[in-house]
Amino acid sequence: AQTVTQSQPEMSVQEAETVTLSCTYDTSESDYYLFWYKQPPSRQMILVIRQEAYKQQNATENRFSVNFQKAAKSFSLKISDSQLGDAAMYFCAYRSPFEGPGGYQKVTFGTGTKLQVIP
Amino acid sequence: GAGVSQSPSNKVTEKGKDVELRCDPISGHTALYWYRQSLGQGLEFLIYFQGNSAPDKSGLPSDRFSAERTGGSVSTLTIQRTQQEDSAVYLCASSLHVMASPLHFGNGTRLTVT
């Protein structure tokens, strides 16, 4: 079974600084997708960034980038120039390839990292 | 609407009562997921639908929990004889049946069992 581990329950960063959130996962598959989601206090989960396992190039979305190490099964999120609005829970997620006759795609989430941004 | 809609946004119920939570996914999204999130915690998988079928019900905590989806669209999660430990936020998400498609989440239903 796939597992996703976020070993940092809480992190803090000074405004305008850079912070890296870690995520590791376990799978025997060769192709899959990884995602980072943000959940602010408003509760709405928002996609931050995604990465396909077959792509060697790390995904980037403005101030957000990932460090994807496939062999190590590591998928960390780097937030540059942190802003107060970045304060939220961040969840790492793994999406499996199609399984079974129904084409089931399991999506497994980590336990989350609470990010505090200090003014 | 353009997003995933969940209702009610908040529900307070007495222990032992039944509750029904509703999720209206994005049009065209055949995959639908239910998760439960306790205060400050991660997402606990409950059930997955592909169309009207539920190939994975493994996350339902007990036989008091059930879910259905009709017409490949709206889904309802029913909790019978609610207990205080059922208090949580119940999140629904939908996506295209494509591995690259991210999950689109609703705002959730906060259930409080008194």
Name the more confident of A52 and A2: A52
Q: What is the pLDDT of residues A8-59, one digit of tens each?
A: 999 999 999 999 999 999 998 888 999 999 999 887 899 999 999 998 899 9
Q: Which helix (H) or strand (E) holds B65?
A: strand B65-69
CATH number at residue A64: 2.60.40.10
Number of domains in chain A: 1
Length of chain B: 114
**Tokens at A3, concatenated:** 């597992």
Q: What is the pLDDT of residues A88-107, one digit of tens each?
A: 999 999 998 876 656 677 88
Looking at the predicted structure, is the pLDDT value of residue A114 above 70? Answer: yes
Of chain A residues 79-118, which have a CB less than 8 A from chain B? Answer: 91, 93, 95-98, 100, 102-112, 114
How many angstroms separate the CA atoms of A84 and B47, rounded? 35
Q: A58 CA to chain B: closest CA distance, Å? A: 15
How many angstroms separate the CA atoms of A18 and A64, rounded? 10
Measured between beta carbons, the chain A residues lying within 8 angstroms of B108 are 43
Q: B69 CA to chain A: closest CA distance, Å? A: 15
Selection from A29, A80, A77 nearest residue A50 by Cα: A77
Instruction: Return the minimum-mean-pLDDT range out of A26-40, A67-81, A96-110, B94-108.
Output: A96-110
- Judge whether B108 is closer than 8 Å to chain A, CB to CB: yes
Comparing CB atoms, the residue among B40, B99, B103 nearest residue A97 is B99
Measured between beta carbons, the chain B residues lying within 8 angstroms of A102 are 50, 53, 55
- A93·B89 Cβ contact <8 A: no
Domains of chain B in sequence order: 5-113 (2.60.40.10)
- B99·A32 Cβ contact <8 A: yes
Q: What is the pLDDT of residues B5-56, one digit of tens each?
A: 999 999 999 999 999 999 999 999 999 999 999 887 789 999 999 888 887 8
Contact A49, A91 (CB under 8 A): no
How many angstroms separate the CA atoms of B70 and B13, rounded? 26
- Mutation site, B41, B105, B111, interface A, largest A CB count within 10 A: B105
How many angstroms separate the CA atoms of A53 and B111, rounded? 37
- A91·B99 Cβ contact <8 A: no
Q: Which chain A residue lies closest to B56 (C-alpha atoms)?
A: A104
- Judge whether B53 is closer than 8 Å to chain A, CB to CB: yes
**What are the start-end ranges of the H helices in chain A?**
none
